[in-house]
Amino acid sequence: MKTISFPRALGLAALLAASTMTAHAATVTVLDSSLSALNGAFGGGTAATTTLAGPVFGTTTTVTGASGGANRASAAYVADQWVQRNVGGNGTAGVTTDYARSGTGSAYFSGSGGAGAYKGDLEILFGTAVAASSVTGMGFDWYRDSSSGVTSADLHPVLRLMVSGVVNNVAVGGYLVYERAYNGGGAAPLDAWVTEGWDYNTGNLWSTGNLPGAFSVFNRQLDDWDSLVSNLSVVGLSIGIGSGWNGGGFEGAVDNVRFETSAGSTTWNFEVARNTVPEPGGLALVAAALLAAGLARRRIG
């Protein structure tokens, strides 16, 4: 498998030119069984990846122990696959049937602990980076469970664009983050799925890393970032919770991550490979049906 790292993707500027591509709309099912097995020590944190056997099905990775950046567990990026990243401080990330959406599953996130402690993300690094100027839309569905104790009413799982480019001949990169709080939203609805969507010149995105105005400017849309950063490329997508949050715990989910370019759109639907337990009664019925089919065939023969 081709493994690449986010920093190495800096400078990748393979452009998807609209004139040479046929527009398409694809829905990609992301199964829990495709997540990485993330186990063992990461700094002072210990990761455990578990496949759930019911009544909730799915695969989750939880990190216990010390919190903070150096203690977070990340799987290696695999091009064009969602993997667990930055899980730490009693944070959990995975794909489960806790919150059914577009099927029986969704990406699951939870955390507990004090301010700045827990975190958990799922990320996809594109095999081919996309010119920011070709992006025509993006969005996701998210869910905040009312059991979440996090003290800010506006917090919810976020969608981030992983980007790279050049400013004053220096390579820059980081995340462009969509949060309802900076887009006219008030308190996050509870126990309900919320669908968010924006495009190239709508939707305020704040930034991390060494992008201009990182962590301090909250009113720039993607077109503004594109004019500030040369060769701005989207190298991947990230969804998750925590980090700068103010503690108090969170539980919720994400599904239907959508990314559109002038060449077409992709929607990632998170689902669970195994989501039912075969019942003995059901097995007996299947056996009876097979037996009947066998008898029928014998009569015909």
The footprint of Ca ion (CB under 5 A) covers 101-103, 105-106, 255, 269-270
Looking at the Cβ atoms of 9 and 138, the one nearer to Ca ion is: 138
CB-based contact 236:124 (threshold 8 Å): yes
Looking at the Cβ atoms of 175 and 270, the one nearer to Ca ion is: 270
Looking at the Cβ atoms of 33 and 210, the one nearer to Ca ion is: 33
Closest separation in Å from C-beta 72 to Ca ion: 26
**How far apart are the C-alpha atoms of 55 and 105, rounded to whole Å?**
13
Residues in CB range of 3: below 8 A, 6 or more apart: 76, 77, 78, 79
Closest separation in Å from C-beta 82 to Ca ion: 12
Count Cβ atoms below 10 Å from residue 199 Cβ, excluding itself. 15
Q: Which residues are bridge partners to 239 per DSSP?
A: 122, 159
Looking at the Cβ atoms of 50 and 102, the one nearer to Ca ion is: 102
What are the structure tokens assigned to 82, written together?
Answer: 């969602």
CB-based contact 91:111 (threshold 8 Å): yes
Looking at the Cβ atoms of 103 and 248, the one nearer to Ca ion is: 103
Residue nearest to Ca ion (CB): 102
Q: What are phi and psi of 133, to 5 degrees?
A: -65, -15
Closest separation in Å from C-beta 262 to Ca ion: 27
Closest separation in Å from C-beta 194 to Ca ion: 15
What are the structure tokens assigned to 177, written together?
Answer: 């983050």
Closest separation in Å from C-beta 272 to Ca ion: 9
In Å, what is the CA distance from 183 to each residue of 44, 180, 201, 204, 219? 37, 5, 13, 6, 8
- Cα-Cα-Cα-Cα torsion 210, 211, 217, 221, nearest 10 degrees, comes to -160
CB-based contact 253:157 (threshold 8 Å): yes
Q: Which residue has the tokens 């401080």?
A: 89
Looking at the Cβ atoms of 72 and 101, the one nearer to Ca ion is: 101
What are the structure tokens assigned to 219, written together?
Answer: 């009113």
Closest separation in Å from C-beta 266 to Ca ion: 15
What are the structure tokens assigned to 147, written together?
Answer: 């059991």
Looking at the Cβ atoms of 122 and 130, the one nearer to Ca ion is: 122
Closest separation in Å from C-beta 61 to Ca ion: 18
